[in-house]
């Protein structure tokens, strides 16, 4: 007899729900999703967190967050552009956008606002003292804007990436006072693409195959939620 834990049951249900929406070619989600505002051909601003002197967090083997953020951002942009989306990046090289963190963030906000985006995706990596912590987690503006988009993104990533690689699908999107998610007045999310403090997550993030798998899910979730 096979006993299935409560967490596994929830993960299976979540995965089936995502497949029901996407596997049959149904590009729609709950009516509460702030989707329908970003049709194919619209603008998505992609922000690769950190850069240059600001390397972000460092992985257990010495990997710099900023380098992986950039690799993920460029790949996600390519996948979205291939689907007919106009993409604007805040940075395309491993350099900061200002001499200070304040100037860097201000420059990012100016690029994002100037692009008049329909949504914003900022990519980062997580770090935590507990080295066993794993998974991809989504954050959004604490005013509530983007909450539905963040919820759908998290549900999809839970049912695919998180369940496949860490056997968990209980991560929930978190609201907060984040500068980037508030700078443009459109649905915006920060995606922490894994815990670089965890050796397994770091190893996956250094893999081109995994980055493509992750970015494909993010791209598909974006288009599903906003088509």
Residues 39-63, mean pLDDT to the nearest whole number: 92
pLDDT of residue 42: 86
Give residue 40's pLDDT band: very low, low, confident or very high (50, 70, 90): low
**pLDDT tier for residue 85 given thresholds of 50, 70 and 90:** very high
pLDDT digits (tens, 9 = 90+) for 144-185: 788 999 999 999 999 999 999 999 889 999 999 999 999 999
Residue 129 has pLDDT above 80, yes or no: yes
Distance in angstroms (rounded) separating the CA atoms of residues 158 and 38: 23
Would you place residue 223 in the very low, low, confident or very high pLDDT band (cuts 50, 70, 90)?
A: confident
What is the structure's pLDDT at 225?
66
Q: Which residues contact 225 (CB under 8 A, 6 or more apart)?
A: 29, 33, 35, 149, 152, 153
Q: How is residue 113 written in tokens?
A: 């606002």
Confidence of residue 143 (pLDDT cuts 50, 70, 90): confident
| Residue in the structure block whose two tokens are 């397994």 | 200
Beta-carbon-side half-sphere exposure of residue 104 (alpha carbons within 13 Å): 17
Closest CA to 135 of 116, 154, 122, 118: 154
pLDDT over 70 percentage in the chain? 81
Residue with tokens 């951002």: 73
68 in helix, strand or coil? helix
pLDDT of residue 8 exceeding 50: no
The pLDDT of residue 36 is above 70: no
Give the tokens for residue 221: 């979730």
How far is 75 from 214, CA to CA, in rounded Å?
A: 10
Strands of 86-89's sheet, edge to edge? 86-89, 43-48, 119-126, 188-195, 137-141, 174-176
Reply yes or no on whether the pLDDT at 216 is more than 70: yes
Q: How far is CA 101 from the centre of its chain?
A: 22
Model confidence at 11, pLDDT cuts 50, 70, 90, reads low
Query: Length of the chain in residues, anyone?
Result: 227
- What is the residue-averaged pLDDT of the chain? 86
More confidently predicted of 19 and 64: 64
pLDDT, mean of residues 100-107: 97
As a three-state string, the secondary structure of 149-185 is HHHHHHHHHHHHHHHHHHCCCCCCCEEECCHHHHCCC
Predicted pLDDT at 226: 60
Mean pLDDT of 54-66: 95
Alpha-carbon distances, residue 82 vs 12, 28, 75, 77, 219 (angstroms): 30, 20, 11, 8, 10
State how far Cα 72 lies from the chain centre: 9
d(CA 136, CA 224): 19
How far apart CA 202 and CA 68 sit, in angstroms, is 10
Residue 78 has pLDDT above 50, yes or no: yes
């Amino acid at each position: 007899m096979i006993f299935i834990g409560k967490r596994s049951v929830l993960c299976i249900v979540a995965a089936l729900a995502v497949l029901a929406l996407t596997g049959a070619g149904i590009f729609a989600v709950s009516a509460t999703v702030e989707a329908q505002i970003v049709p194919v051909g619209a603008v998505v601003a992609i922000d690769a967190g950190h850069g240059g002197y600001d390397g972000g967090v460092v992985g257990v083997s010495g990997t710099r967050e900023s380098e992986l953020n950039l690799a993920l951002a460029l790949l996600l942009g390519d996948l979205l552009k291939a689907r007919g989306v106009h993409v604007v990046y805040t940075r395309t090289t491993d350099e900061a956008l200002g001499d200070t963190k304040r100037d860097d963030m201000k420059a990012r906000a100016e690029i994002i606002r100037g692009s008049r985006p329909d949504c914003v995706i900022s990519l980062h990596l997580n770090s935590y003292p507990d080295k066993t912590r794993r998974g991809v987690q989504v954050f959004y503006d604490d005013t509530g804007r983007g909450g539905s988009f963040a919820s759908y993104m998290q549900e999809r990533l839970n049912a695919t990436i998180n369940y496949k690689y860490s056997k968990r699908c209980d991560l929930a999107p978190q609201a907060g006072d984040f500068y980037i998610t508030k700078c443009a007045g459109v649905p915006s999310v920060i995606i922490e693409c894994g815990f670089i403090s965890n050796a397994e997550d770091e190893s996956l993030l250094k893999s081109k195959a995994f980055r493509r798998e992750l970015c494909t899910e993010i791209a598909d979730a974006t288009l599903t939620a906003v088509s």
